[in-house]
């Protein structure tokens, strides 16, 4: 089974999925700052920063979308092992993101678990959709 995995594609797709999430977060912060005068004020001491607040809500959905798209790209043109390759993209994506879980606040850890599950589901669904 491991011999059917196209590791270069899988690794590139996993990295691209994480880059996609970062780009979506940066765009979300920029749009929020542009549209909101509230963003210009300093948050109260102990309250989460703008990046934390946006990341908490946007990152799981962005991870789902970018991992799904990256998995679709990774399995494009494959005749066999499509689902295995797609899920491998999801696993690489989760592994790349897991250091953030280790440094996350305890109240954010559940959301990381949800985000990881969404990435794996997206990768699996991409594999199912792409299966011949």
pLDDT score of 12 = 97
pTM of the model: 0.86
- Nearest CA among 116, 125, 55 for reference residue 91: 116
pLDDT in tens, 62-109: 999 999 999 999 999 898 899 999 999 999 999 999 998 888 888 888
Q: Give the confidence band of 59 by pLDDT, cuts at 50, 70, 90.
A: very high
% of the chain beyond a pLDDT of 90:
61
Q: How many domains, the chain?
A: 1
Helix and strand numbers (H, E) in the chain are 4, 0
How does DSSP assign 33-81, residue by residue? HHH-SGGGSPPPTTSPPHHHHHHHHHHHHHHHHHHHHHHHHHHTT-SS-
Range of the domain at 126: 2-130
Q: What is the pLDDT of residues 4-47, one digit of tens each?
A: 899 999 999 999 999 999 999 999 988 888 887 654 555 565 56
Local confidence band at 132 (pLDDT 50, 70, 90 cut-offs): confident
User: Residues 59, 61, 63, 67: what is their CA dihedral angle, to the nearest 10 degrees?
Assistant: -170
């Amino acid at each position: 089974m491991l011999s059917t995995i196209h590791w270069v594609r899988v690794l590139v797709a996993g990295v691209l999925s994480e880059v996609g999430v970062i780009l979506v977060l940066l765009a979300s912060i920029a749009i929020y700052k542009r549209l909101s005068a509230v963003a210009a004020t300093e948050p109260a001491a102990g309250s989460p920063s703008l990046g934390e607040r946006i990341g908490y809500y946007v990152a799981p959905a962005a991870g789902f979308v970018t991992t799904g798209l990256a998995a679709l790209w990774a399995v494009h043109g494959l005749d066999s092992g499509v689902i295995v390759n797609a899920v491998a993209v999801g696993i690489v994506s989760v592994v790349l993101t897991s250091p953030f879980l280790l440094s996350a606040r305890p109240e954010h850890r559940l959301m990381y678990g949800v985000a990881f599950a969404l990435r794996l589901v997206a990768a699996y669904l991409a594999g199912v959709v792409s299966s011949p």
